[in-house]
Structure 1
Amino acid sequence: MPRKRKTKDESQESAPKRRRSSRQASKEEQKGREETSPAAGSNTAVNPEAPRHDGEWYWLMKAEPEPRFENGVDVSFSIDDLRAKTEPEGWDGIRAYAARNNLRKMNVHDKSFFYHSNCKEPGIVGIMEIVKEFSPDETALIPGAPYYDPASTKENPRWSVVHVEFRRKFAVPIPLRELRELGKPGGVLENMQMLKQSRLSVSRVSESEWAALCRLADEKAAEAGLEHVDA
């Protein structure tokens, strides 16, 4: 089901519900998810070709929430679309090598910000978890599909996909304009990969950047009197 492409940048929206520290919530619930997730913990969740790293790594992955058509197919995908899924979702449609290489570095239980891109109010809208490491992106093999690539074959797949699950929708998104402010010299995000390579659709987030952004999301929720929506 070809869909989301992550190449440009821009978007956003709001939300209500339960409030807990964004960092704390994901760590507290991880153990139970290891046992219940359809992909996490299964033999197929871990790819032996993926490089191993200690602890969780953090990422930012972009998708376009507003309708956009490629070859007659709407490729939009939002945090609410992910939240509605009942099984792990393949993050397909990546057709840039730098972004693909980042996908291939991901380990099960890594976390990623969900970023709404190429829309009216771009920004970080929530959190998802990597529950299955990279495998071939078979949407590249389908003639007529939005991101068909004739150079990619079953024997030599050029593109990869990871599978993710919804973990949290922020009560109040963190807009791109705030990220840019924090990315100025001396700011907590001054070295953030997404701000330095704005067209990169899958980027690394350092542990300190992750902590700062989760803290900011919690502060924005408290100020608005709203609560995050958790899985």
Structure 2
Amino acid sequence: MAYWLFKTEPDAYSIDDLKSDVQQSTFWEGIRNYQARNFMRDQMQVGDKVFIYHSSCKVPAVVGIAQVTKAAETDPYQFDASSDYYDPKSTPDKPRWIGVTVQFVELLSSQVTLKAIKADDAIVDLSLKKAGRLSIMPVTEQEWRHIIEMSKR
């Protein structure tokens, strides 16, 4: 099992949206970064744990946990000209973009803010701390456990 952090803007799709979905599950569409795509395609597996991180908001923070329930598959929005995620260079024969399905697991006891993560010396290699532009990033098992502990304080 691997650990990941998925960024989302809560005004577009939040942990509460995932939790309130009838199946508490969603296809994570719209990833348009090659490195994030490659993580999903080459490394992510069913059963992997995911931190849901709210970004581009008043208090950016890790807010909850999801789990990958379906491996990478073609993102259909890349073919829909009316979608924000449309890619005219992508074709059904040669799709460029994929997504995974995640299911809600739980809300954290308390949110772990970006400010707290950046100030914590125990978190060294997390990409979020270094350059937070990537929408999907790996999390080490040590970082995962530490952030869980931070949420309990």
Structure 1: gaps spanning 5 or more residues = 1-55, 67-75, 220-231
Distance 1:158 1:174 in 2: 33
- What is the letter of the counterpart of residue 64 of structure 1? E
1:80 to 10, 16, 19: 16
The two structures have a TM-score, normalised by structure 1, of 0.64
- 2:124 aligned with 1:190, yes or no? yes
**Alignment RMSD, CA only?**
0.9
Shift of 1:207: 0.5
- 2:143 aligned with 1:201, yes or no? no
Distance 2:44 2:126 in 1: 18
Aligned residue in 2 for 1:8: none
- 2:40 aligned with 1:103, yes or no? yes
Aligned residue in 1 for 2:2: 57
Structure 1 window deviating more from structure 2 (107-116 vs 210-219): it is 210-219
Aligned residue in 2 for 1:133: 71
Aligned residue in 1 for 2:56: 118
- What is the letter of the counterpart of residue 206 of structure 1? T
Aligned length: 151
Structure 2: gaps spanning 5 or more residues = none
Aligned residue in 2 for 1:35: none
Which of these two proteins has the greater Rg computed from alpha carbons?
A: 1
Distance 1:208 1:145 in 2: 38
Shift of 1:62: 0.4
- What is the letter of the counterpart of residue 3 of structure 2? Y
The two structures have a TM-score, normalised by structure 2, of 0.95
1:214 to 144, 148, 153: 148
Distance 1:96 1:191 in 2: 20
Shift of 1:121: 0.8
- What is the letter of the counterpart of residue 102 of structure 1? F
Identical-pair percentage: 38
